[in-house]
Amino acid sequence: MIKISMPLLDEKEERAVIEVLRSEQLAQGEKVSLFEQKFAQFIGTKYAIATSSGTTALHLALLALGIRKGDEIITTPFSFIASTTSILFTGAKPVFVDIDPNTFNIDTNLIEKRINPKTRAILPVHLFGLPANMEKIIKIAKKYHLFVLEDAAQAHGAKIGNQRVGNFGDLGAFSFYPTKNMTTGEGGMVTTNNEKLADKIKLLRSHGMKMKYHNDVLGFNFRMTEIEAAIGLEQLKKLPTFNNSRINNAEFLNVQLADIYEIVIPFIPKGYTHVFHQYTILVKEGNRDELAGYLGQNGVETAIYYPIPIHRQKFIQKIYPKLHLENVERVANQALSIPVHASVKKEDLEKIISLIKKFFQRRS
């Protein structure tokens, strides 16, 4: 079976973990600090703060911005649920804006219409590894004095020009879950150039204390372990190679699948570096589930990200019973992600391509 995702770990991570186990320092310590320093350097921000997950990274980022009940946050309904639940945890209200069906990211032409006096921030997601239109988002945020929090959980290393995502907004949030472009098992990171925000996140991450057992504010335990950070340090060294494999795999698929009428291949805006967390095609004319079944029967695992847009999820639909967002609802019915990760070999890609071609030939 060619899997849809696979963490890539070897003796480097094994050795790093054993070193931590023998050091007797298991909770947040030097490895976490070093990982934060190296990650900030990679993204190009002054600060990076490690957390227990991508979800807690988003949650702490919003709390550091002072987001609370009565506030509204503009975001995309086409994402993993955590980009919205992190808003709900603060008591604020997510305001969903439809997507651009070409990029799958928030349609920046629709944002201004949804801004009102309660709006405090924009939370774009760099979905599947493609940066959202940050130039436009930053421009709108400046005009209306809004914060920007980038959900970069799927986009470690993605760029617009030479600037990496996580370095455009006030804050960026990353995830190191095993399916992502790099992993620590569970884990997350907040990036920022703002010292005050960085300090606030550190405070909230660890029981609201700067000095041990002096608790200044209500805080959490959202810390990363030394074991996770040790894995992260090794993964970060490999990330450029991982991303290059994903990009090369995607390029090959794009060339080979370009002339199949029934599908739409991923679009990359000029000057954008897409790091292909997922390679997601649109299958027109209702054949998506059939194609997924056919590939599955022939040893190719696929996935649907995401079958239900966030505003249609059971507990969120209750808040917005009448909200209809045309593009995201269509795309959710047509999207199919096929294997693109760094372990996918040339012969795997050739097999996938020939199966997709065969599927549509048989139908016509």
Residues in contact with ligand PLP by CB under 6 A are: 53-55, 79-80, 82-83, 125, 151, 153-154, 175, 177, 188
Identity of the residue, 53 or 119, whose beta carbon is nearer to ligand PLP in the bound complex: 53
Minimum distance from residue 228 beta carbon to ligand PLP (Å): 11
- The structure tokens 């019973």 sit at 321
Identity of the residue, 108 or 175, whose beta carbon is nearer to ligand PLP in the bound complex: 175
Identity of the residue, 279 or 294, whose beta carbon is nearer to ligand PLP in the bound complex: 279
Identity of the residue, 53 or 302, whose beta carbon is nearer to ligand PLP in the bound complex: 53
Minimum distance from residue 283 beta carbon to ligand PLP (Å): 22
Identity of the residue, 175 or 302, whose beta carbon is nearer to ligand PLP in the bound complex: 175
Give the number of other CB atoms < 10 A from CB of residue 305.
19
The 3-state DSSP composition of the chain as helix, strand, coil percent (nearest 5) reads: 40, 15, 40
Minimum distance from residue 54 beta carbon to ligand PLP (Å): 2
Minimum distance from residue 358 beta carbon to ligand PLP (Å): 32
Identity of the residue, 55 or 119, whose beta carbon is nearer to ligand PLP in the bound complex: 55
Please state the φ and ψ torsions of residue 29, each to the nearest 5 degrees. Answer: -155, -140
Minimum distance from residue 177 beta carbon to ligand PLP (Å): 4
Tokens of 149: 């929090």
Minimum distance from residue 260 beta carbon to ligand PLP (Å): 28
Identity of the residue, 79 or 90, whose beta carbon is nearer to ligand PLP in the bound complex: 79
Identity of the residue, 45 or 55, whose beta carbon is nearer to ligand PLP in the bound complex: 55
Identity of the residue, 28 or 175, whose beta carbon is nearer to ligand PLP in the bound complex: 175
Torsional class of 263: left (φ above 0), alpha (ψ -120 to 50), beta (otherwise)? beta
Task: Of 120, 101, 156, give the one whose Cα is nearest residue 275.
Answer: 156
| Distance (Å, whole) CA 28 – CA 23 | 13
Minimum distance from residue 314 beta carbon to ligand PLP (Å): 19
Tokens of 14: 């094994």
Burial 142-153 (b: 16+ CB within 10 A, else e): eeeebbbbbbbb
CA distances from 62 to 39, 55, 190, 297, 345 (A): 20, 11, 11, 43, 40
Torsional class of 286: left (φ above 0), alpha (ψ -120 to 50), beta (otherwise)? left
| Distance (Å, whole) CA 299 – CA 27 | 41
CA dihedral 76, 244, 186, 163 (to 10 degrees): -50
Tokens of 158: 């993605």
Give the nearest residue (CB) to ligand PLP: 54
Identity of the residue, 80 or 147, whose beta carbon is nearer to ligand PLP in the bound complex: 80
Minimum distance from residue 62 beta carbon to ligand PLP (Å): 12
* DSSP summary character for residue 311: G
* DSSP summary character for residue 4: S
Minimum distance from residue 214 beta carbon to ligand PLP (Å): 29
Strand order of the β-sheet with 159-160 is: 163-164, 159-160, 272-273
Residue type, 309: P
Tokens of 269: 């805006």
Minimum distance from residue 11 beta carbon to ligand PLP (Å): 25
Tokens of 296: 């599955």
